Amino acid sequence: MENKVALVTGAAGGIGEAVVRALAGLGVAVALVDRNRERLEVLAKDLRRDGRRAEPLPADVTDSAEVEAAVSEAERRLGGLDYLVNAAGVLRTGEARELSDSDWSATFAVNTTGVFFVSRAVVNRMVARGSGGVIVTVASNAAGTARMEMSAYAASKAAATMFTKCLGLEVARFGIRCNVVAPGSTDTPMLTALWEDGGDDDALRASIDGVASAYRVGIPLGRIARPEHIADAVLFLLSEQAAHITMHDLTVDGGAALGH
């Protein structure tokens, strides 16, 4: 992967940051895309201190004009993109009948439309160059397993998953692979934000042991994932070790979805 070029959305924290650090550690030049300008600058400086190539590109993935500008600037600064990782995501919870219009719209704007905007901008440039490329979308095991109070999130991730697979089918003839990583509960701010009511220890135990009243099984491996676990799966699908894998959905959830 050394000397390759990647663009990662949601780069300011959580899984996105873990992917950025893992790629940079392998000698990949990385364009960091997120709305959090301050955090991007801090991360880029940290990576540069270690001799890595990292360019912070603040942008809102829900705005197609900002996306096009960010992708163009990434290629101007770093060269043609070899990899794209769609890791930006938001979570709005609540029973489906009580979700607001803004909850629904905001969830799909980032988790689905954002994946479309960024993937379209990147893949069109990959096709034009004719040298292939790889796209990985970070979705969720909730895309294939019903979860109470997560209808918007699950539906948006299911849509992003199928979009990525359809895109992979269309661009396979150009040597471009498109795959999905589906995490389960992972130690990120998105997960811990759900723990505010019950306390960290109780919420962590519930995630691992499951909640019968919510029809949620636990995690057979007995632990939640670290962001690095998800990054490892992303790197595998980007790598030449996965050269004959496309349109695949790799679940990384410690068995929480029971293999589905």
Active-site residues, by number, are 153
Burial (CB count <10 Å: 0-12, 13-18, 19+), residue 133: buried
64 contacts 117 by C-beta, under 8 angstroms: yes
Q: In whole angstroms, how far apart are CA 199 and each of 90, 190, 195, 203, 208?
A: 22, 15, 6, 6, 14
Which among 19, 15, 5 has a CA at the least distance from the CA of 71?
Answer: 5
What's the residue count for the chain? 260
Q: Which residue has tokens 């811990």?
A: 192
Give me the residues paired with residue 152 across strands. none
Phi-psi region of 52 (alpha: psi -120 to 50; beta: other; left: phi over 0): beta
Helices (H) and strands (E) in the chain, counts: 9, 9
Give me the residues paired with residue 249 across strands. 180
Which among 5, 43, 34, 19 has a CA at the least distance from the CA of 235?
Answer: 19
